[in-house]
Structure 1
């Protein structure tokens, strides 16, 4: 696991609580029944970074999280080999239901994207900034990311983590897996493992380009007419629409 060098900048979280939050993520991923083999691979290779933060419903750590996303994107461009994941785990709230978790998650994501725009970071042209577009993805530091939301009250067992957690994954690393002919095999393995612990396959899952991935981020099963509350401020300049 990659350590967090900024741990001394978190006055709202006691050191022992930081370890507790990190252990909660590590224990869940390491559990034999956890279905995501990509996360397990990152853990085994030491390319899983965990950030402990204050609250999902607060902007207290937003600048620090965004700075880490910029570093994550830059480091990947320098060395794009292997799978890596950035897990941002929050102390709480622990009582959010799925709808409230989804709302708070998008508020944090909106804040990170606004900061990316303010700093003049380019949007990754390989994906769309429109959350209704099947090719939608987030972009930080010029690299496309997707998010996996995890929390104590998730209906899907695989998404049920001890504390609210946002896992940021780089799109490009999965494109490399596709080019190598490894992606579909990994995807099928994850789906089968998910079926084993949940009894069925997550109905929200879809391949990139088939349906907007924004519908998958929170883990909540959303209706066909669901509209994403997120708006990337670079959408107009990138795609010429509002």
Structure 2
């Protein structure tokens, strides 16, 4: 079984970012970076993808490097958490930069995969890192002010505490209003009955990306915030098999 390695990298401001990584081989190939969700207060960070077997599974099946980053305040990454804001985005970007420097990674073939609050942050990262091969976003919100107005009291309090509710704070976390800066092919997965992130968030974001000429596909699935694996797996398999297909040279 491939070895999972843990790395602690400098975010660029002296704060630590935790990253877990599995390499399929020493040959240069693509990479995928997972960005976790809220985790129900467990704060496992990137270790979640180690414990559930995702890193080994994706690496082995696709022949790529698979990695998972811990957001600020999760795992061994320095906090505090800022609810998908600039500090979280900076941590994800530092993890992407780390991957790009690995001999086993083709820096032009990196996919960013964010779930829930990880999708919120990853969508914003895609507005700043425009050379990603693709982004995959599940159960995210892309207009945080709208989500805040319609969310539970508990989620509202978390946003107030971690992010603040000024116009700038909402804008810094709302990829819908930065869709013109996204250049990477985008796959959106969302549950029709999601009670934390309304499906219209994904629908509006998909429409905005399409207007900008970004290749985008939206799959609305028969589920809530936690998507049924049996529905997600074939969509991911088809998408990632194509994205990571071997590059053929025409003579």
What TM-score comes out, normalization by structure 1 length? 0.34
Give the number of the structure with larger relative contact order, counting CA–CA contacts within 8 Å between residues 6 or more apart.
1
What TM-score comes out, normalization by structure 2 length? 0.33
